[in-house]
Amino acid sequence: MTISHSWRLLRLLAVSAVLVLTAQIFVCRIALRKRPREASHPLPEDVHRILAPETYEYIINQPDMCKERSPFLVFMVPVSPAEAEAREAVRKTWGAPNPNTLTLFYTGLPKGPGVGLFQQKMEEESKVHADIIQMNFQDSYQNLTIKTMMMMNWLATYCPSASYAMKVDADIFVNIFYLVNLLKSAPEQGFITGSVITDGAPRRDRNSKWFLSEELYPEDSFPWYVSGAGYVFSSDLAAKISWGSRFVQMIPLEDVYVGLCLRVVGIKPVYSRSLLTFRNLFEIRNLKYDRCTFARRVIVNQFKPSELVRIWQDFSSGHDNC
């Protein structure tokens, strides 16, 4: 080998070394940027406290609901204490007693004028129906994240034998016939479905209802999450989401928050689409009632209690003919 040959070889080696190094730094940077901030270590105790289940106490509980049965599907419905009419509508419609399903309402403490009266009425209602669970945090829109984590913790503690659970608002139409069928062929673990939001991002406009400050959430996008109106999951996820929440600072957007907990435990929500048309089965637009249109959805958004009851009468008797 001549001197000029070895010189060239040396140069080649040097250039490749620099290239490899640059590539590595680049990859590292990407990894650092993508790494969820919260996944590295648990939150300090005083920060986690506001969401920790040990912080609050049950005022009303139904601890024996799953002692003698393992429901196929538990409906977990967040409500405010004053929403007695909405609870009644759910009990008369998709939430009615059924061998496959169990329906429970979750609430915090009433606030404002008439607190004592609301509390007394709700306790009477609870004696009649035995389907209300109440914890001693202030019930409010901003505290929905606390309520959601309370529901997860309740399921993991008192009903781990359930197959599936659905977090669903009281103003939603739920097609239990379609849903139960869909779940019969769903994964038994690590499964969550609903209307998946893949391009969510924090609103930095202070006037927005969904405003989120950079202190609370510094990243500029959200991980995939399921819209909070109604989502369904295998019951093992209740404990996993509760565990994940030790790593995630509370934000007042409960559905995004659940998405952040799912990211910690490495679970991605899946979209539910109809086979041929690819239509979203979890409808988050408002749709005018039509029996056969509703027969092809799992949920439809936003109904007043009286509308829900009226629609259900027609739907439950006629959906088979669609």
Ligand X SMILES: *[C@@H]1O[C@H](CO)[C@@H](O)[C@H](O)[C@H]1NC(C)=O
Candidates 96-104, 140-148, 181-189, 234-242 — which segment interacts with ligand X by CB under 6 A? 140-148
Question: Exposed, middle or buried by CB within 10 Å (0-12, 13-18, 19+), for 186?
Answer: middle
Compare residues 80 and 103 and give the one whose CB is closer to ligand X: 80
Is residue 148 involved in binding ligand X (CB under 6 A)?
A: no
Candidates 25-33, 137-145, 195-203, 259-267 — which segment interacts with ligand X by CB under 6 A? 137-145
Q: How far is CA 4 from CA 8, 10, 14, 16, 48, in A?
A: 6, 10, 15, 18, 66
- Sheet hosting strand 132-138, strand order edge to edge: 58-60, 132-138, 101-109, 73-78, 164-168, 230-234, 192-194, 270-271
Compare residues 106 and 164 and give the one whose CB is closer to ligand X: 106
Q: Which residue in the set 6, 100, 120, 138 belongs to the binding site for ligand X (CB under 6 A)? A: 138
| # residues near ligand X by CB under 6 A | 5
Q: Do β-strands 132-138 and 192-194 pair in parallel, antiparallel, or remain unpaired?
A: unpaired
Report the distance separating Cα 122 and Cα 114, nearest Å.
12
Site for ligand X in 248-307 (CB under 6 A): none
Candidates 2-10, 133-141, 174-182, 295-303 — which segment interacts with ligand X by CB under 6 A? 133-141
The residue among 137, 85, 150, 71 whose CA lies nearest residue 108 is 137
Q: Which residue in the set 140, 157, 302, 316 belongs to the binding site for ligand X (CB under 6 A)? A: 140
Q: Which residue in the set 105, 137, 217, 294 belongs to the binding site for ligand X (CB under 6 A)? A: 137
Give the largest Cα separation in the chain, rounded: 99
Candidates 23-31, 135-143, 199-207, 273-281 — which segment interacts with ligand X by CB under 6 A? 135-143
Q: Which residue in the set 62, 93, 126, 143 belongs to the binding site for ligand X (CB under 6 A)? A: 143
What residue ranges bind ligand X (CB under 6 A)? 137-138, 140, 142-143
